[in-house]
Amino acid sequence: AQTVTQSQPEMSVQEAETVTLSCTYDTSESDYYLFWYKQPPSRQMILVIRQEAYKQQNATENRFSVNFQKAAKSFSLKISDSQLGDAAMYFCAYQSSNTGKLIFGQGTTLQVKP
């Protein structure tokens, strides 16, 4: 069975600085998808970035980028130029290409200090 682990329950960053959130996963599949979702206090789940396992190039979305290390089964999220609105809970998620099931990590709460 696939598992996703986020080892940082809480992280803090100064506004305008850069922060990296860690995520590791375990799977025997070779084809899958990885996501980072953001959940602000409003409770809405918002997609931040996605990565297809077959792509070697790391995904980038504006200030958000990932470091995808397939052999190490690691998928970290880097947030550059952090803004107050980035404060939220961030979930790493694995999606099986066989079932489509999305499996979430435990989440990391990010605090952004002004």
Partner 1 sequence: DTAVSQTPKYLVTQMGNDKSIKCEQNLGHDTMYWYKQDSKKFLKIMFSYNNKELIINETVPNRFSPKSPDKAHLNLHINSLELGDSAVYFCASSQAGLAGHLNTGELFFGEGSRLTVL
Binding to partner 1 in span 7-46, by CB under 8 A: 31, 33, 35, 39, 42-45
With CB under 8 A as the contact rule, the residue among 25, 36, 68, 91 that binds partner 1 is 91
From the CB of 94, what's the least distance to partner 1, in Å? 11
- Helices H, strands E: what count in the chain? 0, 12
Residues 47-86 vs partner 1: string with x where CB under 8 A? x--x------------------------------------
- 103 contributes a contact to partner 1 by CB under 8 A: yes
CB nearer to partner 1: pick between 2 and 81: 2
Helix (H, G, I), strand (E, B) or coil at 8: coil
- 101 contributes a contact to partner 1 by CB under 8 A: yes
From the CB of 114, what's the least distance to partner 1, in Å? 24
How many Å apart are CA 92 and CA 25, to the nearest integer? 9
In 24-87, DSSP assigns E strands to 24-26, 32-39, 46-52, 60-61, 64-69, 74-79
Judge contact between 102 and 33, C-beta under 8 A. no
Judge contact between 37 and 91, C-beta under 8 A. yes
How many Å apart are CA 75 and CA 82, to the nearest integer? 19
Interface residues toward partner 1, by CB under 8 A: 31, 33, 35, 39, 42-45, 47, 50, 89, 91, 95, 97-104, 106-107
